[in-house]
Structure 1
Amino acid sequence: MKPEPWIGGNQLQLLENGEEYFPAVFGAISSARHEVLIETFILFEDKVGLALHAVLVAAARRGVRVDLTVDGFGSPALSSAFVDELTAAGVRLHVFDPPPRLSRRLQPFRRLHRKIVVVDGEVGFVGGLNYSADHLADYGPQAKQDYAVMARGPVVEPLRRAAYQLIDRHAPPSPMPHPAATGSAQAQVVIRDNQKHRDDIERIYRRALHAAQREVIIANAYFFPGYRLLKSLQRAARRGVQVRLILQGQAADTAWATFAARMVYDRLIEAGVRIYEYCERPMHGKVALVDDEWSTIGSSNLDPLSLSLNLEANLVIRDRDLNAQLRQKLTPLMQQQCQRVRIEQTAARRWWWRLGVGYLVFHAMRHFPRWAANLPPHRPRVVPAADSTLVVAAPAGEAVQAWQWQADAAPAAAGGLGP
């Protein structure tokens, strides 16, 4: 398919971790006049989830249309009290492809992994953060490192359209004034689905790597790309581009993810790619920059689930200011909080390769996108929460207090890109 056209006239702001992201999102929702659209993989009933709950209920009660879509696998259990108060206030709570209760653990594939917020068709958010307390520093050593972008301008319209199409692909979005130009940044909303956009995100990465002249920095939580993307990384490094990867240094959520990523270290390092393992806390970001202008921020990992199965959304950007903001965040991570992987450190992994284990894993994953494309067609359901198995009895234990985000600072965060 042809690439999406670049949309100019946008103003963008990088947001790092929950300390910046949640006040900006909650502040925008608190100021909403007409409409709030949210998609998320994870919504937990912890202090962050309760804070989101509070601003959504307040918005719905003052007449704002609120649509909240959660993934049936990623958000497996919310209490009846939590859900009932949302729906009683008028929030439309949707569940993406809820699995039957008995087979919930057997359906981790083709999930809604996107993280999108659109408020009044004027401000949009795209990134990797879920609504859970582990995106805040006070969670402790397992607090996640992550990024999102807040956008104002014409690019918010395709973001809004994508959110509406998920809820009901046959119904067009309700009329809303087209967002006015507010800045100079160009951007594209790039999604991945299992119908018309199967490899769009992988293609934008490969296109950027082919065009790179000087520098590439990629920070990604789950890294095991397909054969073509690996080749693009190697070719860029071999022609003299400084290619640096910031990958997971701590044990990831699943052991296979770390094992798989390290399987490809040898061939990348031999081509000249520099690999840095982030060891401060879990890396959850999905961002990249190329040279001085191009960058992308979103929900897509560079692994088979994100590139071949899940629904994902990235914002792809041409803007020197945003590119510089992202570089200023990533450079200290490499210098101060990462360990560079040297070729001599991969000897133990080459032993697995010689046994044939690495060879089999690599080539199985190399062909995974083609195999995934041949899986039986599957059009997931998006259903009201009442028709799903999402709701469970209220969790046991002490009550959780909502996160006390600074409401007085939220308008500045949400409105920092203009009126």
Structure 2
Amino acid sequence: MTFMARPPAGRWIEGNDIRILENGEEFFPRVFACIANATREVILETFILFEDKVGVQLHEALVAAARRGVQVDVTIDGWGSPDLSERFLTTLAEAGVRVHVFDPGPRPFGWRPKVLRRMHRKIVVIDGTTAFVGGINYSEDHLQDWGPAAKQDYAVEIRGPLVADIQRFCHSALAEGQRHQRGQRSWWRSRSQLRSPPENLPHAGGAAAMLVVRDNRNHTDDIEQHYRLAIRSARKRIVIANAYFFPGNRLLHELRRAARRGVDVCLILQGQPDMAIVKTAGSMLYPHLLRAGVRIFEYCKRPLHGKVALADEEWATVGSSNLDPLSLALNLEANVVIRDREFNRALHERMDRLMRTSCREVRLEELTDLKGWGLVRSFLAYHFTRRYPTWAAWLPEHAPRLLPAVPGALRPALADAKGRR
């Protein structure tokens, strides 16, 4: 029997109501409605915020909340949200919205590639009673009317005691980012001024759940550990839908072992990728997985952007973490891990419908490029998965910095990141 070096971080919190939200059509109306009804506090973190029709709707909701006295904090990533106009930021600031930018620009004399170690979380907490966690950004390409390039994605709406844990985490992240500002005026409130989350939120449902995060200090592989533990424990079925699939060798090993012991292991991956390299890299692992009995389905309707999984009839996870080197070894991520039969059933119904109606199953006999250079590429890709977690640890670490988005002051830095989606 294989044992984990240490148990995964996190604690199960009982009594939550958790609902799956699919695509922008389900997600945006719920978030905007909850912000419209907020009376005390809105905290929002996102990798991408664009000034399109979705971004404008969010802007209007945040401004209206702040003007009626709600405390509003918004954190965006400086690489993922590069194109916000001065007017957009000014209106937020004048209403009282505090916009924080995660590592907005290059570091003179301390060079660090801008695409590495990003703030990739997508979290909303409203009044300490409702939270949203998932993979959906604030951009109109999460709506189906965007066309063939619209993304397929998921998030969850949470009510119950877990919300207090998520709120505490968001407060801590804001305080941590403020502490590491260098040469910046300390403008954000101190820990003593934080609005304390309610200690005993009433039970709202029957789901046990926990927030699991990935960072570059204390929680470097917590999300991956929860995946591996669920895969190792599965006896009937595993379904993973993940946009950017190139996991480390340990996770690949668990998937292959599960399939060989008779578990129905299904991967839903990109068939119409938003970046061609994503499918190329992932497909190099296909032979190793298919030979072990893992079933692979390519979602061909639109680009897949989801990061969800389920195991057997209780366990599930939804969040921001892909199963690739960036998410598993570099980025700041957040997933909710759920133990609930009703939620598992609802998620499985959506995944099953996706596989039946919008996916193409990949067969081993179809992989004709398994000789010559194709065989070499597959071999190299498989062995790269054994090494990249170690290589990632060699890259420079840094303390995450949050800077205030003072209108005009951050425009050069944001413009430097232009084009990153």
TM score, norm. by length of structure 2: 0.89
Which one of 75, 78, 87 corresponds to residue 81 of structure 2? 75
SS at match of 1:275: strand
Q: 2:132 is matched with which residue?
A: 125
Q: 2:367 is matched with which residue?
A: 346
**Aligned CA-pair RMSD:** 2.0
Note if contact 1:233-1:243 (Cα within 8 Å) is conserved in structure 2.
Answer: yes
Note if contact 1:166-1:382 (Cα within 8 Å) is conserved in structure 2.
Answer: no
Aligned residues: 392
Do the aligned partners of residues 79 and 391 (structure 1) sit closer, same or farther apart at CA in structure 2, a change above 3 Å counting?
A: farther
SS at match of 1:348: coil
Do the aligned partners of residues 20 and 105 (structure 1) sit closer, same or farther apart at CA in structure 2, a change above 3 Å counting?
A: farther
Q: Partners in 2 of 1:351 and 1:384 — Cα distance? A: 53
Do the aligned partners of residues 359 and 121 (structure 1) sit closer, same or farther apart at CA in structure 2, a change above 3 Å counting?
A: same
Note if contact 1:224-1:260 (Cα within 8 Å) is conserved in structure 2.
Answer: yes
1:142-161 matches, within 5 Å, as 142-161=149-168
Q: 1:270 is matched with which residue?
A: 291
Q: Partners in 1 of 2:134 and 2:122 — Cα distance? A: 6
Please state if 1:58 is matched with 2:79: no
Q: Partners in 2 of 1:351 and 1:73 — Cα distance? A: 39
TM-superposed CA distance for 1:77, in Å, is 1.5
Q: Partners in 1 of 2:266 and 2:398 — Cα distance? A: 37
Q: 1:412 is matched with which residue?
A: none
TM-superposed CA distance for 1:348, in Å, is 1.4
The unaligned stretches of length 5 or more in structure 1 are 396-419
TM-superposed CA distance for 1:349, in Å, is 5.0
Note if contact 2:285-2:381 (Cα within 8 Å) is conserved in structure 1.
Answer: no
The unaligned stretches of length 5 or more in structure 2 are 1-5, 180-189
Q: 2:186 is matched with which residue?
A: none
Q: Tell me which amino acid in the other structure corresponds to 1:306.
A: S
Which one of 33, 36, 50 corresponds to residue 27 of structure 1? 33
Q: 2:91 is matched with which residue?
A: 85
Q: Partners in 1 of 2:294 and 2:381 — Cα distance? A: 21
Q: 1:135 is matched with which residue?
A: 142
Note if contact 1:143-1:282 (Cα within 8 Å) is conserved in structure 2.
Answer: yes
Q: 2:242 is matched with which residue?
A: 220
SS at match of 1:93: strand
Do the aligned partners of residues 186 and 22 (structure 1) sit closer, same or farther apart at CA in structure 2, a change above 3 Å counting?
A: same
Please state if 1:237 is matched with 2:249: no
1:199-210 matches, within 5 Å, as 199-210=221-232
Q: Partners in 2 of 1:391 and 1:302 — Cα distance? A: 27
Please state if 1:197 is matched with 2:219: yes
Q: 1:180 is matched with which residue?
A: 202
Give the fraction of aligned pairs with identical amino acids, expressed as a percent.
54
TM-superposed CA distance for 1:186, in Å, is 0.1
TM-superposed CA distance for 1:364, in Å, is 2.6
Do the aligned partners of residues 104 and 222 (structure 1) sit closer, same or farther apart at CA in structure 2, a change above 3 Å counting?
A: farther
Deviates more, 1:4-13 or 1:358-367: 358-367
Do the aligned partners of residues 164 and 350 (structure 1) sit closer, same or farther apart at CA in structure 2, a change above 3 Å counting?
A: farther
Q: Tell me which amino acid in the other structure corresponds to 1:200.
A: D
Please state if 1:327 is matched with 2:348: yes
TM-superposed CA distance for 1:106, in Å, is 4.5
Please state if 1:42 is matched with 2:63: no
Note if contact 1:44-1:132 (Cα within 8 Å) is conserved in structure 2.
Answer: yes
Deviates more, 1:188-197 or 1:3-12: 3-12
Q: 1:317 is matched with which residue?
A: 338
